C-alpha cells in the first residue's frame, strides 16, 4: 500500500479493495474525504474494513495477565486482584495502559471504554499512542484500593478538565463500579450529574447470579437493572458491562431506556459468570449492544477478533440455535455498534465518516480462500491479518510496525515485576 500520512494534513491510501472494487481513500481532517477508483492498480489491492471499538476494558490489567487464573469472580477479586491493585501508581498504570493499547492497535482496535484506577495515566497513554479512549471518573466505595482513597478522588478531579463526549479523541465518563460497591445515594447523585452534563455512564451490571440474588434480597425483590432504573441511572448514554443475568422485564427496561449492553463473553465464560442472552436481549428484545473484552487479567486477550468469535459461538450455545448471532450481526456490534454507543460517526467506510479503518493483508491465511469477508473476520481472522491501522486519519500501525513497541514492552515487563513483588 502506498500511503502519504501526516497527523494533521491530508493523506491518500492507494489501491485498496472495498466491496470488490479497487479504490483510493483520501483522508482530510480526520475524516474520509473521498473514495475514488484506484489510480494505481499494480499488485493486489489490500482489503479495507472498519476498525473495532472495545466498549468495556480495564487496560492496565494487562500487567496482571496470567497472575491469578482459574478462580471464581469474588475470590479472584478480593484475594488476588484488589490486593495487587492496592500497590498501583500512576507510572505502573501508564506502563500497563501502553502495553494494552499496543495489543489493541495490533489487533485492529481504535477505541477503548476503560474503567480503572489512576485514570489520568490511562488518558496520557491514549493521547500519546493515538487511539480513542473513554476514561473513567470511577466511584467505588467498598472493596478495592479506591475505598476512601484520596488518590482516587484526586484522579477524578484531574479528569474534570477532559471533555465529556467523543468530539474529543480522549474524553471522560462517569463510572460507578457496580451496585455492590456504590451506595444508593451516590448512584442517585451520579445519575443527576450525568443528566445535567449529558455525559456517559459506565457500570458493571448483572454480571453474576450472586449479584442478582443479593440485590433482590436487599432491595425488595428488584433486579440490578430495575434498581438502577429506579435510581435514574439508565438512559441512552448508559453503557452496562456484562448483563449476563437478565429477566424479560430487565430487557424491556433496557430497551425502553435506550441503554447499551456491552457483552463480554470470554471473560464471563472464564469466570463461569454465565452466557449473555443474545437472542432474548438483542435479536428479540431490541436492546442496543456492543462488544468488549474486559481486562487482560480475566480474558486474557484484548483481541476483538477472538471476542467476536466467542460472542457468535456462545450465543448459539445459549439459544440452542446455530442461526443466532450471525457473523454480520456480530461484526456490526464490534464496529458500527460500538461507535454508535458513544456517538462516534464511524464504524463504516463511507465519505464523511471518521477515518477509522484497517487495511488487511490479502494473503493472510485466515482470509483464504475468501468466500465471505464477514465470516472470515468473525470466525477465522486474528491480529496477523492486520497490516495497517488508522484512527481519526492518523496511521497508528503501518506494514505491521508500531513506533516504540520494544520500549513499551520492556517498560511493561519491569512494571509488572515491580507490582507483583510489592
Mean pLDDT of 274-293: 98
Q: Give yes or no for residue 264 having a pLDDT over 80.
A: yes
Q: Which of 4-13, 234-243, 250-259, 351-360 has the lowest mean pLDDT?
A: 4-13
The number of C-alpha atoms within 13 Å of 397 and in the hemisphere containing its C-beta is 29
363 in the same domain as 245 = no
Which phi and psi (to 5°) does residue 310 adopt?
-65, -40
Q: Using 50, 70 and 90 to split pLDDT, how confident is the model at 418?
A: confident
pLDDT in tens, 17-31: 999 999 999 999 999
Share of the chain above pLDDT 70, in %: 96
For residue 4, the surrounding DSSP H or E stretch is strand 3-4
80 in the same domain as 216 = yes
Task: Give the 3-state secondary structure of residue 105.
Answer: helix
Is residue 170 in some structural domain? Answer: yes
Residue 255 confidence (pLDDT): 98
Residue 178 confidence (pLDDT): 96
For 408, the grid coordinates are: 513499551
Is residue 246 in some structural domain? Answer: yes
Report yes or no: 344 and 166 within 8 Å, Cβ to Cβ: yes
Report yes or no: 298 and 242 within 8 Å, Cβ to Cβ: no
125 in the same domain as 82 = yes
The whole-angstrom separation of Cα 393 and Cα 129 is: 13
What CATH number should be reported for the domain holding residue 14?
2.30.40.10
Task: Calculate the CA 360 to chain-centre distance.
Answer: 21
pLDDT in tens, 143-180: 666 665 788 889 999 999 999 999 999 999 999 999 99
Is residue 409 in some structural domain? Answer: no
Mean pLDDT of 181-201: 96
Q: Give yes or no for residue 9 having a pLDDT over 90.
A: no
Mean pLDDT of 273-286: 97
Q: Give yes or no for residue 4 having a pLDDT over 90.
A: no
Nearest in space to 272 (alpha carbons), one of 82, 73, 76:
73
Q: Total structural domains in the chain?
A: 2
Is residue 404 in some structural domain? Answer: no
Q: Which of 2-6, 48-52, 73-77, 324-328 has the lowest mean pLDDT?
A: 2-6
305 in the same domain as 243 = yes
Residue 144 confidence (pLDDT): 61
Mean pLDDT of 258-278: 96
Complete DSSP assignment for 231-289 = TT--STTEEEEE--S--HHHHHHHHHHT-EEEE-HHHHHHTT-----HIIIIIIT--EE
Residue 384 confidence (pLDDT): 98
Q: Give yes or no for residue 421 having a pLDDT over 80.
A: no
Listed in sequence order, the residues at least 6 apart from 126 whose beta carbon sits closer than 8 Å to its beta carbon are 97, 101, 112, 132, 133, 135, 169, 170
Q: How many residues does the chain have?
A: 422
Is residue 77 in some structural domain? Answer: yes
With 0-12 / 13-18 / 19 or more C-beta atoms within 10 angstroms meaning exposed / middle / buried, residue 38 is: middle
Q: Using 50, 70 and 90 to split pLDDT, how confident is the model at 136?
A: very high
Is residue 422 in some structural domain? Answer: no
At residue 256's C-alpha, the angle toward residues 114 and 320, to 5°, is 75
pLDDT in tens, 308-326: 999 999 999 999 999 999 9
Looking at 341, 370, 404, the residue that finishes a domain is: 341
258 in the same domain as 162 = yes
Report yes or no: 264 and 274 within 8 Å, Cβ to Cβ: no
90 in the same domain as 32 = no
Report yes or no: 109 and 52 within 8 Å, Cβ to Cβ: yes
Q: Using 50, 70 and 90 to split pLDDT, how confident is the model at 304?
A: very high
State which residues form the domain around 384: 3-48+357-396
204 in the same domain as 129 = yes
The whole-angstrom separation of Cα 63 and Cα 125 is: 15
117 in the same domain as 21 = no
The whole-angstrom separation of Cα 220 and Cα 218 is: 6
What CATH number should be reported for the domain holding residue 303?
3.20.20.140
At residue 337's C-alpha, the angle toward residues 335 and 341, to 5°, is 120
Nearest in space to 250 (alpha carbons), one of 308, 218, 211, 291:
211
Q: Give yes or no for residue 406 having a pLDDT over 80.
A: yes
Listed in sequence order, the residues at least 6 apart from 104 whose beta carbon sits closer than 8 Å to its beta carbon are 54, 110, 112, 131, 302
Is residue 401 in some structural domain? Answer: no
In sequence order, the β-bridge partners of residue 373 are none
Share of the chain above pLDDT 90, in %: 87
With helix as H, strand as E and coil as C, how does 12-61 read? Answer: EEEEEEECCEEEEEEEECCEEEEEEECCCCCCCCEEEEECEEEEEECHHH
> Which residue bears the cell 487495511?
359
The single-letter DSSP state of residue 167 is: T
233 in the same domain as 114 = yes
Is residue 352 in some structural domain? Answer: no
Mean pLDDT of 399-420: 94
pLDDT in tens, 332-381: 999 999 999 999 999 999 999 999 999 999 999 999 999 999 999 999 99
73 in the same domain as 194 = yes
pLDDT in tens, 27-51: 999 999 999 999 987 788 999 999 9
Q: Give yes or no for residue 299 having a pLDDT over 60.
A: yes
In sequence order, the β-bridge partners of residue 240 are 203, 261
The whole-angstrom separation of Cα 186 and Cα 363 is: 53
Give the predicted TM-score (pTM) of the model: 0.95
281 in the same domain as 191 = yes
Residue 41 confidence (pLDDT): 73
Give the residue with greater pLDDT, 149 vs 101.
101
170 in the same domain as 77 = yes
Amino acid at each position: 500500500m502506498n500511503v502519504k500520512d501526516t497527523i494533521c494534513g491530508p493523506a491518500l491510501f492507494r489501491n485498496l479493495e472495498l466491496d470488490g472494487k479497487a479504490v483510493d481513500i483520501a483522508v482530510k481532517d480526520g475524516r474520509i474525504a473521498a473514495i475514488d477508483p484506484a489510480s494505481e492498480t499494480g499488485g493486489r489491492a489490500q482489503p479495507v474494513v472498519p476498525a473495532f471499538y472495545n466498549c468495556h476494558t480495564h487496560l492496565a490489567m494487562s500487567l496482571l495477565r496470567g497472575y491469578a487464573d482459574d478462580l471464581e469472580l469474588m475470590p479472584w477479586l478480593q484475594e488476588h486482584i484488589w490486593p495487587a491493585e492496592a500497590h498501583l501508581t500512576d507510572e505502573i498504570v501508564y506502563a500497563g495502559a501502553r502495553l494494552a493499547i499496543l495489543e489493541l492497535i495490533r489487533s485492529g482496535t481504535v477505541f477503548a471504554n476503560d474503567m480503572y484506577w489512576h485514570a489520568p495515566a490511562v488518558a496520557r497513554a491514549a493521547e500519546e499512542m493515538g487511539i480513542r479512549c473513554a476514561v473513567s471518573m470511577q466511584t467505588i466505595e467498598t472493596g478495592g484500593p479506591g475505598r476512601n482513597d484520596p488518590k482516587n478522588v484526586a484522579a477524578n478531579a484531574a479528569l474534570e478538565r477532559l471533555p465529556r463526549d467523543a468530539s474529543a479523541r480522549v474524553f471522560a465518563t462517569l463510572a460507578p463500579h457496580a451496585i455492590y460497591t456504590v451506595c444508593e445515594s451516590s448512584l442517585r447523585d451520579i445519575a443527576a450529574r450525568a443528566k445535567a452534563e449529558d455525559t456517559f455512564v459506565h457500570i458493571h451490571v448483572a454480571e453474576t447470579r450472586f449479584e442478582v440474588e443479593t440485590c433482590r434480597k436487599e432491595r425488595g425483590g428488584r433486579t440490578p437493572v430495575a434498581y438502577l432504573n429506579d435510581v435514574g441511572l439508565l438512559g441512552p448514554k448508559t453503557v452496562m458491562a456484562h448483563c449476563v443475568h437478565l429477566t424479560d422485564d430487565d430487557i424491556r427496561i433496557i430497551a425502553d431506556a435506550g441503554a447499551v449492553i456491552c457483552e463480554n463473553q470470554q471473560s464471563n465464560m472464564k469466570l463461569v459468570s454465565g452466557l449473555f442472552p443474545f437472542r432474548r436481549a438483542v435479536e428479540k428484545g431490541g436492546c442496543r449492544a456492543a462488544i468488549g473484552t474486559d481486562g487482560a487479567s480475566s480474558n486474557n486477550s484484548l483481541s476483538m477478533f477472538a471476542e467476536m468469535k466467542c460472542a457468535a459461538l456462545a450465543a448459539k450455545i445459549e439459544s440452542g440455535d446455530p442461526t443466532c448471532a450471525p457473523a454480520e450481526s456480530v461484526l456490526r456490534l464490534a464496529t458500527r455498534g460500538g461507535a454508535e454507543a458513544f456517538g462516534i460517526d464511524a464504524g463504516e467506510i463511507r465519505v464523511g465518516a471518521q477515518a477509522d479503518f484497517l487495511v488487511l493483508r490479502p494473503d493472510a491465511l485466515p482470509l483464504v480462500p475468501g468466500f465471505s469477508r464477514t465470516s472470515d473476520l468473525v470466525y477465522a481472522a486474528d491480529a496477523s491479518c492486520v497490516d495497517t491501522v488508522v484512527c481519526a486519519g492518523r496511521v497508528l500501525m503501518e506494514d505491521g510496525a508500531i513506533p516504540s513497541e520494544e520500549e513499551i514492552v520492556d517498560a511493561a515487563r519491569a512494571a509488572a515485576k515491580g507490582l507483583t513483588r510489592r
